[in-house]
Amino acid sequence: MAGAPVIHIVDDDASFRTAISRVLKASGYEAAAYESAACFLCDIEKASPGCILLDVRMPALGGLQLQEELAKLQRGWPIIFMTGHGDIPTSVRAIKAGAEDFLTKPVSPYRPYYRHELFGR
C-alpha cells in the first residue's frame, strides 16, 4: 500500500517479529521490525509515522516504559500491545496510558478478528 503508514513491530522474539513482518508485507503493508525498545527509540526521528505493535516484556526497556517515553516525545502513534505475559493490572495500565488494545500471544494473524484488530486501524 503505497503511502500507507508503517506498522512498527517492537518485540525481542525474533521468530515473532519475522512472522508478523512477513504477514504484514504479504498483505501489502509496510512493516519495520525492531529487536528492542532502545533500537526503536534510536530510529524514532527518521521513522515514518504509523502504529506500533509492542511487546510488554523486553530486556532493559519494556513496552510500558517505551509507551511512557513516546508520550514524553509527544508521539501520538497508536499502540497495540501483544504479550505472552499479560495480566489485568498491566493491561489496565497500558490502556489507561493510551494503548489502543492489549492482545495476548499467541496472536494468529490469520484469524479474521486479529487481522482486523492489527491491520484494520
Cβ-contact 8, 52 below 8 angstroms: yes
Domains of the chain by start residue, with CATH: 6-119 (3.40.50.2300)
- Pairwise CA distance, residues 42 & 58, whole Å: 16
Cβ burial 55-83 (10 Å sphere, 16+ → b, else e): bbebeebbbbebbebbeeeeeebebbbbb
**pTM score of the predicted model:** 0.84
Digitized pLDDT (tens) for each residue of the chain, 121 residues in all: 456 678 999 999 999 999 989 988 888 889 999 999 999 999 998 988 889 999 999 999 999 999 999 999 988 899 999 988 888 999 999 999 999 989 888 776 555 445 555 555 5
Cell of 43: 530510529
